Structure 1
């Protein structure tokens, strides 16, 4: 896909800059490949820098409610320090690495409603020309996909996907925001939780899976629900019984509510390695179901 824009703010008649991104979604921690193509107009000019900003539309809570704002979560210099002559055509290929915690925008080609983009900035004669926000597609890592598919097999249903400003306590989170994937509980968990949120915090060694259950109304006092986290590696994804493993996670999450009567469809012999955390999220309350 090619995104074109004019260098009009500098009065360079006929000059253009095109950012060409490789087709298909990129994975978190993967290589983001493309090319910036320049074509000079009737006047030569010096390009001081060419920079790519990765931007996310993030929700933040205030006393007046919630609002959305653009957050630049990474920045790459991909060229600059040269003169573009009149009529000259020049291509600047780039290959940069996405942050491991880059949010997922689609699953099996279906968009989640999360907005990520790339903005190209050119520095010319001490001024900066920022282009429009061009969409960035990000697919799930194998671990993320396996966990979400297991939740679907267990009867959990996707209701929302949002980016929330703030950090989750007790985790290795690096970005100033995190993705929250909202789910309705499977029927056998409905008495223990009203909604479940999944957050993936990936790094080079694996993925922290953070689960938070919103407590059913009337059973507990107000406040955040139970929070549990698990760590899994990137290797051996295909050889694991994810349905049984994720069901064990959900049973442990339900137990944090004091609910221990959830039936065990896979029997008592399920095994999984995990660690849990009582840390709070330091962020706004759970989003409402089906909200974008």
Structure 2
């Protein structure tokens, strides 16, 4: 599947740019590959640089107000200074690494997470003027570990509520991006003491932190409160773990916890073969305020029968120009 972007840079007679992604579907830790094709206009220009950047929508809390901000969180220069003569075709191949902490936009099967946007922006500079151009839509699918955990929530009866990115850092977690993604679920009846569950994945090449925040209901003589736990997941354990059982244990542990307790868990798993690093095609389309997260607080889906329980939280793939209105 190919996404193309055409723009006329720097006014009438300037060069035109066509950015082509070989495959717009990716996962954290993989590469986006493609070419930036430049065609000279009616006069020679000197391109100072060509860069690519991943852009997403981030919720920012400022005092008592909140607003959304389009944030470029990873940028790569793919070419330095070079001349472009009239009518000259130039093609620049690229491999753009996707950060491990990149938020998810899609779940397997092509369903897009409502509220999530992601684009690859091409930027050219000529004689000090910068043309940021438009955005090419990018679809970020989950790592196997992320998919298994989200699937476990669905198997336990949790229903998807929403997903967003929020500016800030999570205390006690090694986080590189200036924001984190929250995937929120409604709990089923058997977890009667919980109003909602929020899941944050902070992935790295060797493992992943899973941060769970539960909004617990108040009782007759107690007020409601939040419980936050952090767990470490070894990628080698993914296929040998009963994730429904593990997630059920996480939820029940939170139900028995006292207000504002914060714990970190490092489980020990048997070694399993590590994942490969080939980029798949994934079919066709397919908290601040609690003393723990520095930022605001506020997810993911399934295949087959599990998808039916979460489908209300998904929308079909939208046109990125609409999602990034005004960018």
Q: Same fold (TM over 0.5)?
A: yes
CA shift digits 1:22-70 (9 cap, x unpaired):
2242101111111100111221211110011211110011224211011
* RMSD of aligned residue pairs (Cα, Å): 2.3
Unpaired runs of at least 5, structure 2: 260-265, 269-289, 300-311, 316-327
Q: What's the CA shift for 1:238?
A: 1.7
Normalised by the length of structure 1, the TM-score is 0.86
Pairing of 1:130-141 with structure 2 (within 5 A): 130-141=132-143
Q: Measure the CA separation in 2 of the matches of 1:291 and 1:41.
A: 43
Displacement of 1:285 in angstroms is 4.0
User: Does structure 1 retain, via aligned residues, the 8 Å contact 2:111–2:314?
Assistant: no
Corresponding residue number in structure 2 for 1:117 = 119
- Higher mean displacement: 16-25 or 103-112: 16-25
Instruction: Output the TM-score relative to the length of structure 2.
Output: 0.77
Q: Which residue is 1:60 aligned to?
A: 60
Mapped contact 1:54–1:72 kept (Cα < 8 A): yes
| Helix, strand or coil at the partner of 2:171 | coil
Describe the superposition over 1:95-131 as per-residue Cα deviations: whole angstroms up to 9, x where unpaired.
0211110000010211113111121110111211111
Gaps of 5+ in 1: 259-271
1:140-159 equivalent positions in 2, closer than 5 A = 140-159=142-161
Which shifted more, 58-67 or 142-151?
58-67
Which residue of structure 2 lines up, in the alignment, with residue 104 of structure 1? 104
Partner of 1:252: 253
Asked if structure 2 preserves the Cα contact closer than 8 Å seen for 1:170 and 1:279, the reply is no
**2:244 matched residue in structure 1:** 243
Deviations 1:70-116 (A, max 9, x none): 11111100113211111111110100211110000010211113111
Superposition deviation, residue 257 in structure 1:
4.3
Which residue pairs with 1:200 in the alignment?
Answer: 201
If asked which structure has higher relative contact order (CA below 8 Å, sep 6+), I would say 2
Q: Measure how far apart 1:134 and its partner are.
A: 2.4
Contact 1:200/1:209 (<8 A) preserved? yes
